Structure 1
Amino acid sequence: MINGIWLSMIVIGFLFAAVNGRMDEFTAAVFDGAKSGVTVSFGLISVLVFWLGIMRIAEDAGLLKKIAKVLGPVVSFLFPDVPKGHPAIGYILSNMSANLLGLGNAATPMGIKAMQELQTLNPDKETATPAMCTLLALNTASITLIPATLIAIRLNYGSADPAGIVGTTLAATAVATLAAIAADRLFRRLSLLRKPPKPPAASRTVEASRGGKPLNSSSLKG
């Protein structure tokens, strides 16, 4: 889907440039965009390497374990259907910790690993479980304490106050996270209401003993 969108934008831009006789400007814009992309990437490397190093130091110092203990009850509340001690919990905590520091590139592989572990708990491999939907919503709207990536971009483009977005980013992501959690809880309740009620255990046992046919009053008399 994303590849199709990008391809459509390129093709439409090429056609408009060809029709309007502006191919020289189109070609120059393509190369300028590629140059800017490389420049921004190099500018991000230093900041991302710095924060990844800080996270490694925090991990070796035991800080991430303390963060995990703090976030543990929150994760248990948000993911009630994931057993305690399951490997997915560790990856979810790592994903949330990276997102808190604004390290989306570091959070992505942890999120992928968490999804893979959640898939092992999925009885229907073709349908996402509620836990998977919760993780996707939280990863998309994650509350961010330090938007390191955005600060690096602003710094790279010569912003007078690169860290001036910390407060607004925190407020925006906090609202987004609360909205995501509220929507997740709502759809979880709706999915429970749509599920048909399970028959009592005794009825299932008797039904199984009679070859899967439910008992009725005539069969009880016989």
Structure 2
Amino acid sequence: MVNLIWLLMLAIGIIVAALTGHIENVTVSAMKAAELGVEVAIELIGVMSLWLGLMRLAEDAGLVKGIARIFGPVIGRLFPSLKPESPALGAIIMNMSANILGLGNAATPFGLKAMEELQKENPTPDVASPAMCTFLALNTSCITLIPATIIGVRLKANSVNATEIIGTTIIATGCAMTVAIFVDFLIRYRRKK
């Protein structure tokens, strides 16, 4: 459905530009947007490489397991079906850490690893387990304390105050995560009945 909406918006824009005699603006805008996209992507490679490297070092040094033990009680309440020694917990913790720091691209590999580990523990492989559903809800709504990627994009776009979004980001993502946890518990409670 989203693809159809984008296609319609693009087609309508091109048709209107052609009818009004401004078709060259479409070409110029498309080229400028493509150039900006490449520039931003290249500049973000450094930031993403740094965080992915730090995350990998933390994983290899055993920091992930240590953090998993510290946050064990909270994670235990969120994922009651997982055992404390579950390999999925480390990937979940790292995914959430990257999301909290606003590094969505760095969180993706850990999210994939977490789902892979959760699938290994899934008693019914054809259906998502409650732990998988909970993780998906947390992953998509995780609170973001430092929206590093967005701040980087804003800096690249010459924003006067690139960090002014931190407060509203914390409030918005905090509300989203609270609702996700509440709905997850509500659905889980209703299923037990």
Same fold by TM (over 0.5)? Answer: yes
Question: Is residue 74 of structure 2 the alignment partner of residue 99 of structure 1?
Answer: no
User: What does residue 141 of structure 2 align with?
Assistant: 141
The residue aligned with 2:90 is 90
How many residue pairs get aligned? The number is 193
Gaps of 5+ in 2: none
2:122 alignment counterpart? 122
Give the structure 2 partner of residue 49 of structure 1.
49
SS of equivalent residue, structure 1 residue 146: coil
- Segments of structure 1 that go 5 or more residues without pairing to the other structure are 194-222
User: What's the TM-score, normalizing by structure 2?
Assistant: 0.85
Matches within 5 A, 1:18-29: 18-29=18-29
Distance 1:61 1:129 in 2: 30
1:131 CA drift (Å): 1.3
| Distance in 2 (alpha carbons) for counterparts of 1:121 and 1:162 | 42
Give the C-alpha shift of residue 140 in structure 1: 0.8
Cα RMSD of the aligned pairs, angstroms, is 2.4
**Is the 2:72–2:84 Cα contact (8 Å) retained in structure 1?**
no
Structure 1 position 76 matched with structure 2 position 76: yes
Q: What one-letter code is carried by the residue in structure 2 that aligns with 1:13?
A: G
* Max Rg structure: 1
Aligned-residue offset at 1:76? 1.1
Distance 1:50 1:121, change over 3 A: closer
C-alpha distance in 2 between matches for 1:58 and 1:90: 11
Contact 1:92/1:111 (CA < 8 Å) preserved in 2? Answer: yes
Give how far 1:154 is off.
1.2
Q: Which one-letter code corresponds to 2:161 in the other structure? A: D
Return closer, same or farther for 1:125/1:12 CA change in 2, 3 Å cut-off. farther
Cα deviation code 1:138-179 (max 9, x no counterpart)? 011111222110110111111222223223322222221111
Q: Aligned residue for 1:35?
A: 35
